[in-house]
Every structure is written in structure tokens, then in C-alpha cells.
Amino acid sequence: MAYLAVLEPCAFKSRLTLDELTKAFREFAEERATASVRESHSLKNYSFREEDGMVHLVPPGGSPVGTHYCDRLLAEFISSVIERGYWTTLELVGEDGQRWGYFITAGKVEPLGWLKVVWKGQKPVPLERATARLKRK
């Protein structure tokens, strides 16, 4: 059984034209065809569109719901074409509510993390610290 996830919208400023980016993406996908079959097959099903000077990642069939096995490879590709000085995120939410994703800049991909916080006035306090002296039950 496949694990479904929702791919959040991802847009970025590219250093390439859309035609150049599309060609680079095809080459990137072909180079990784020897990687995990599941990842490389999945990678070929994504595309990009341009709107308002930004490039938008288009998931397979245009639907954000899918298996998205190649999320890390997508992030690596975007890091190779994003305009220097710009950043974006690639974020996913699994069918069980699990969140993961990547912070992407030119030549760099870093994992994102989510932290529960309690707002104490204007200050965010990590949930673990806010509840350290309290009992749950």
C-alpha cells in the first residue's frame, strides 16, 4: 500500500528560462534513472510552469495528492536552478498528519522541522518547556 501525501505549493525564482529549466529537469531525471526505480520513475512525472516571474512545481496530473517518492530529488534539482540569493521550501503532509520538507537555496538543501510552541504573550515557547512542570493526567 502506498503512503499518500499532499505536496504544498512550491514556487521559486529560477536563474533559467522555462525552456532551459525543462531541458535541465529532463537531463536531471535521466541521470538519476539508475537510482531507486521508484524515485526516478516518479521524478519524470513532475513538470514546471511559469507565472508572474516565478516557476511553480506541478505535481503529476496537477494533483498535489500522491506518493511523491522523489521529494528529496526534487529539492536537489530546484537547488541547482534557483536564482542565487533566493529561497523556497518544498513541504509535504502525509496521510497520517506527519510533516516534512526542505529549505532550498542555490546549491543547498536542508531538512525542515516543525516544533509545537505555546505563545506566551508575544513569545513562542517550545511545548516541552511550557509543560515541563505540569502533569498531563
Domain boundaries, the chain: 5-130
Give the residue from 111, 68, 75 showing the smallest Cα distance to 93. 68
- Check residue 80 and report its DSSP letter: H
DSSP string computed for 25-44: HHHHHHHTTTS-HHHHHHHT
- Check residue 132 and report its DSSP letter: T
At residue 1 the predicted structure's pLDDT band, cuts being 50, 70 and 90, is: very low
pLDDT confidence of residue 3: 86
Burial class (CB in 10 A: 0-12, 13-18, 19+), 72: middle
**Longest pairwise C-alpha distance within the chain:** 59
Considering the entire predicted model, what is its pTM?
0.86
Cβ–Cβ < 8 Å for 23, 29 = no
- Check residue 61 and report its DSSP letter: G
2-15, pLDDT tens digit by residue?
689 999 999 999 99
- Check residue 40 and report its DSSP letter: H
Q: What is the mean pLDDT of the chain?
A: 92
At residue 37 the predicted structure's pLDDT band, cuts being 50, 70 and 90, is: low
14-25, pLDDT tens digit by residue?
999 999 999 999
Give the residue from 11, 9, 7 showing the smallest Cα distance to 65. 7
Residue 42 has pLDDT above 90, yes or no: no
pLDDT confidence of residue 69: 87
